[in-house]
Structure 1
């Protein structure tokens, strides 16, 4: 009797193996909030990927997506520059970001005084401020 009951609960459905994942993608986005329409140049890399150089006009953004690696050691770093300075920084570091800071979305802004980063869901006040080197 139990065998008949269990058989009626099994439903076969097609599975697209390319959509099966345990780890969601994380999106990192940098906004150019520099004054006077100043362009921002940004070049990001990981140990395995060079994402190339991008020039952002006033109000523009640049983003990329990835999955945190199985070892929990994902790290992306960037060099950013404009007429007011330059900086090299970690735009994503699993040790800092994957545990409540920005699991699925990391927002950054280039401002006149610094590069600033926001906790996920808190786009009004930043929690990281990295001043420009002149």
Structure 2
């Protein structure tokens, strides 16, 4: 294969990669603090990204966005900690993408645990704290 043909193949593959990367859908996750007292500590991450630790006051939001991989298997997790409880939860995965919230997932973090807003019906799918706190006042 000539040098010109190799360069042409490499250029074609680069263009294909750029086109495919731009075609990947962008997902949006919003974490909203609805815990009555104290601060919500949030640490979100995936296999490829660590978004760091964030402290949220009541009614404050931590939004983040990312590109969903080609196979739709992107997963994001968040560890939530409050005076009422804590735990690590999946905040985005294939099930949420296809059946629960699509590309816009809102999570309301409440005294009794995290709740996903199911789109388009806007019902809450709530989970209890995985590690409930002994503090209940």
Quickly name the TM-score band, shorter chain normalised: 0.7 to 0.9
* Counterpart residue number, 1:32: 33
Are the equivalent residues in 1 in contact too, given 2:39–2:55 (CA < 8 A)? yes
More helix by share: 2
| 1:107 Cα offset (Å) | 0.4
Work out the CA distance in 1 between the residues paired with 2:84 and 2:91. 20
Are the equivalent residues in 1 in contact too, given 2:85–2:113 (CA < 8 A)? no
Which structure 2 segments of 5+ residues have no match? 1-17, 133-137
Number of paired residues?
113
Where do 4+ consecutive residues of structure 1 move more than 3 Å?
Answer: none
Which structure 1 segments of 5+ residues have no match? 1-16
* Counterpart residue number, 1:112: 111
| 1:54 Cα offset (Å) | 0.3
* Counterpart residue number, 1:56: 56
Between structure 1 and structure 2, the one with the greater Rg is 1
| 1:101 Cα offset (Å) | 1.9
Counterparts of 1:1-134 in structure 2 under 5 Å?
A: 21-36=22-37, 38-94=38-94, 96-123=95-122, 125-127=123-125, 129-132=126-129, 133-134=131-132
Decide which moves more: 61-70 or 21-30.
21-30
| 1:57 Cα offset (Å) | 0.5
TM-score (norm 1): 0.77
> SS at 1:65's partner residue?
strand
* Counterpart residue number, 2:14: none
| 1:106 Cα offset (Å) | 0.1
